[in-house]
């Protein structure tokens, strides 16, 4: 059997990049929000930004929501999650995260200034 066909011989296998969903972080954010803490109002080195795409991405999005401290960047699924996660990192006193190399969109997908 060819490595490019699925186990039932139905056709080429589509390989999709794996995406990490930080469900525990999102659950903590929701818990804190329910208790009345407005994470998007917590100030510190982390902020939510949007990186514009050259062409529409998943779900026709025009930008990627990013949490950044100016050095490390973490892509998240929504602008709301970006604001909440940046607030959570600020609330916890996290100043720095070690970035994982090669986890940014290809250059051709990003809008040029």
Q: Assess if residue 51 is contained within a domain.
A: yes
Q: Give how far Cα 69 sits from Cα of 2, 48, 56, 62, 90, Å.
A: 46, 9, 25, 22, 10
Give the count of beta carbons closer than 10 Å to the beta carbon of residue 110: 16
Q: Assess if residue 24 is contained within a domain.
A: no
Q: Assess if residue 69 is contained within a domain.
A: yes
Pairwise pLDDT comparison (112 vs 86), residue with the higher score? 86
**What domain range is 77 assigned to?**
42-99
Pairwise pLDDT comparison (56 vs 17), residue with the higher score? 56
Q: Assess if residue 106 is contained within a domain.
A: no
**What is the number of domains present in the chain?**
1
Q: Assess if residue 71 is contained within a domain.
A: yes
Which range has highest mean pLDDT (1-15, 53-67, 99-113)?
53-67
pLDDT for 37 = 94
Q: Assess if residue 33 is contained within a domain.
A: no
Residue 7 has pLDDT above 70, yes or no: no
């Amino acid at each position: 059997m060819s490595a490019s066909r699925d186990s039932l011989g139905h056709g080429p296998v589509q390989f999709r990049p794996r995406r990490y969903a930080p469900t525990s972080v999102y659950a903590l954010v929701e818990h804190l929000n329910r208790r009345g803490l407005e994470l998007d109002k917590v100030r510190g080195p982390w902020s939510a930004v949007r990186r514009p795409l050259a062409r529409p991405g998943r779900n026709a999005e025009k930008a990627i929501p990013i949490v950044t401290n100016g050095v490390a960047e973490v892509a998240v699924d929504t602008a709301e999650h970006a604001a909440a996660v940046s607030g959570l990192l600020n609330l916890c006193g996290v100043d720095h995260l070690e970035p994982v190399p090669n986890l940014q969109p290809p250059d051709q997908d990003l809008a040029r200034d």
